[in-house]
Amino acid sequence: MTVKQLSLPQLVEQCARLGVPGIGLWREPVQAYGLEATAKLVRDAGLTVTTLCRGGFFTTASSLDDNRAAIDEAAALGTDTLVLVSGGLAPGSRDLAAARARITEAIAELAPYAGERDVRLAIEPLHPMYASDRCAVSTLDQALEIAGHFPAEQVGVTVDTYHIWWDDRAPAAVARAGAAGRIHTFQLADWTTPLPAGVLNGRGQLGDGVIDLRGWCDLVDEAGYTGPIEVELFNDELWRREGAEVLEETLARYLAV
Amino acid sequence: MTVKQLSLPQLVEQCARLGVPGIGLWREPVQAYGLEATAKLVRDAGLTVTTLCRGGFFTTASSLDDNRAAIDEAAALGTDTLVLVSGGLAPGSRDLAAARARITEAIAELAPYAGERDVRLAIEPLHPMYASDRCAVSTLDQALEIAGHFPAEQVGVTVDTYHIWWDDRAPAAVARAGAAGRIHTFQLADWTTPLPAGVLNGRGQLGDGVIDLRGWCDLVDEAGYTGPIEVELFNDELWRREGAEVLEETLARYLAV
């Protein structure tokens, strides 16, 4: 998503050239290019798919069938992790607790199905500014509480600095998540202001904002996480630039962190 | 601020006409109209000043002298409460904990001064989307932790639905704040999306959004709070309309809650 202006073949070619060993993919471009074709493209380049994004939206539009399809797609791509953006309030509802209960029920339906396919669901807490319309799971504590109902090899969490950096309880939650084997992916993005209208596409390039990214990397390290680190930026300005250039810049910023 | 298009005399006249017994004021219009003139205007209409907004910004520009002036102004207006918007990260800093420590230090300097003037400081936790640039105090738990260093008659909290509605820990914090006599004001605003650019002026008219406002009123009631309830909306659309009409609408919405 960070360089969505690149086609999948361009992305794979540039990652291979730069020595980026894995890529996180989103369902829509994979479906457009073809599931098996994407799997082959990535595999032939010697890369791995780190995660597939995304399942979820349990409180609104998305069906469990569509989430099962997402799990199947993850398995076909050879990634062990499907990121879940769980959904916000149900239409007409003002009850966040009810939304989280519905999310837990939906995950209970999906977790065994995922486990049978060696895919782990990674509940992503989203920043509280998305609580109403995208994700009623706003903190790592809440995500871990839900994940705790299921085996760690079926359900864990996504740790994304953009969403949790403000939370003084998140460092302890990272440690608990790591001890429980529930950090299923770790994502970096920086926090910059002013936020754009709609607050979706203002994630900062690493180093442009105020998040202590190195500090979060250390916390995740100390929690025992050894998996891939993804950089996920939704940023209109980055998307307007040449994709290969943004990819190179992002890699340099990542290495600087 | 909800009807900032009204002059102070218009505001006072309309509130008296509608039976609104108190008004929360901001420093800038008070200074423009004159401190003593404002105090007399409100007093002569039989109204009270519920709170003065705002002190704070301890991590950046504002000086302690300016905060002492705000305390003096609150006392002159006859309100017992000065709302604090504490400030975000210091320039160049990535350390939210350090910002909160600086905020605590500044309040330690100001609290006795406020107490001697029968003014209470009301630390307002702001939504986490303001953590970097406006207020490093993002939760009611954090605000209470800071307030707990001082006597309740000197320092408490502002409970504003817009800032805390997403937080599953906030109801328990409201109960603790009430039991400790630290709810120094209670403010209503609704949450609507999409958020506007800069995320400052998108607070929803009561009933237009997704917050269970009646539920929060009940929680604050149960916590023993008997003070005024303020409606504080920053909303470009409301500001473009005729002020008296917005005031009437807001009162009707408030009564419906």
Report the CATH number at residue B141: 3.20.20.150
Place A54 in a pLDDT band, splitting at 50, 70 and 90: very high
Which residue in the set A128, A191, A197 is minimally distant from B197, CB to CB? Answer: A197
Residue B72 three-state SS: helix
Which backbone phi and psi does A232 adopt, to 5 degrees? -125, 105
Answer whether A168 touches B (CB < 8 Å). Answer: yes
Q: Does B1 map to a domain? A: no
Give pLDDT tens digits for A119-151. 999 999 999 999 999 999 999 999 999 999 999
Contact A135, A163 (CB under 8 A): no
Q: Which residue, B63, B59, B145, B62, is CA-closest to B94?
A: B59
Q: Which residue, A188, A84, A205, is CA-closest to A146?
A: A84
Q: Does A125 map to a domain? A: yes
Give pLDDT tens digits for A15-39. 999 999 999 999 999 999 999 999 9
Residues in chain B: 257
- Measured CA angle at B150 (ends B64, B105), to 5 deg: 35
The Cα–Cα gap between A163 and A53 comes to 16
Q: Does A2 map to a domain? A: no
**pLDDT at residue A7 is higher than 90:** yes
* Virtual torsion, Cα B6, B12, B18, B23, nearest 10 deg: 90
Range B104-123 average pLDDT: 98
Distance from CA of A137 to the nearest CA of B (A): 9
* Residue B180 structure tokens: 């400790």
**CA quadruple B114, B115, B119, B123: dihedral sign:** positive
**CA quadruple B18, B20, B21, B23: dihedral sign:** negative
Q: Which residue, A51, A155, A152, A151, is CA-closest to A103?
A: A155
Give pLDDT tens digits for B72-100. 999 999 999 999 999 999 999 999 999 99
Q: Does A40 map to a domain? A: yes
Give the burial class of A226: count Cβ atoms within 10 A of its Cβ; 0-12 exposed, 13-18 middle, 19 or more buried: exposed
**Which helix H or strand E contains A18, and what residues bound it?**
helix A8-18
Q: Which long-range contacts (CB under 8 A, 24 or more apart) does B44-48 make?
A: B45/B12, B45/B13, B45/B15, B45/B16, B46/B16, B47/B12, B47/B15, B47/B16, B47/B20, B47/B21, B47/B22, B47/B23, B48/B21, B48/B22, B48/B23, B48/B78, B48/B79, B48/B228
Q: Which residue, A129, A115, A164, is CA-closest to A144?
A: A164
Structural domain count of chain A: 1
Record: contact B167-A138, CB cut-off 8 A: yes
Q: Does A153 map to a domain? A: yes
**pLDDT at residue A182 is higher than 90:** yes
Answer whether A104 touches B (CB < 8 Å). Answer: no
Query: Which amino acid would we find at residue A252?
Result: A
Q: What percent of chain A has pLDDT over 90?
A: 98
Range B207-217 average pLDDT: 98
Give pLDDT tens digits for B117-146. 999 999 999 999 999 999 999 999 999 999
Answer whether A94 touches B (CB < 8 Å). Answer: yes
Record: contact A210-B94, CB cut-off 8 A: yes
Q: Does A1 map to a domain? A: no
> What is the reported pLDDT for A46?
98
Q: Which residue, B137, B114, B5, B6, is CA-closest to B51?
A: B114
Helices (H), B130-230: 140-147, 161-164, 170-179, 213-222
Place B60 in a pLDDT band, splitting at 50, 70 and 90: confident
Give the count of Cβ contacts less than 8 A between chain A and B: 78
Cβ within 8 Å of residue B153, ≥6 positions away: B115, B120, B181
* pLDDT mean across residues, chain B: 97
Give the burial class of A236: count Cβ atoms within 10 A of its Cβ; 0-12 exposed, 13-18 middle, 19 or more buried: exposed
Record: contact A196-B197, CB cut-off 8 A: yes
> What is the reported pLDDT for A60?
82
Which residue in the set A97, A191, A195 is minimally distant from B198, CB to CB? Answer: A195
CA B27 to each of CA B1, B32, B51, B81, B82: distance values in angstroms, whole numbers, following the listed order: 11, 9, 10, 13, 10
Whether the complex's predicted ipTM is more than 0.85 is answered with: yes
**CA quadruple A87, A93, A97, A103: dihedral sign:** negative
Residue A105 three-state SS: helix
Range A47-51 average pLDDT: 98
Record: contact A131-B211, CB cut-off 8 A: no
Q: Does B206 map to a domain? A: yes
Give pLDDT tens digits for B146-198. 999 999 999 999 999 999 999 999 999 999 999 999 999 999 999 999 999 99
For residue B132, the Cα-to-chain-centroid distance in whole angstroms is 19
Contact A51, A70 (CB under 8 A): no
The Cα–Cα gap between B236 and B249 comes to 16
Record: contact B198-A199, CB cut-off 8 A: no
Query: By residue range, what is the domain housing residue A241?
Result: 8-250
Q: What percent of chain B has pLDDT over 90?
A: 98
Range B98-127 average pLDDT: 98
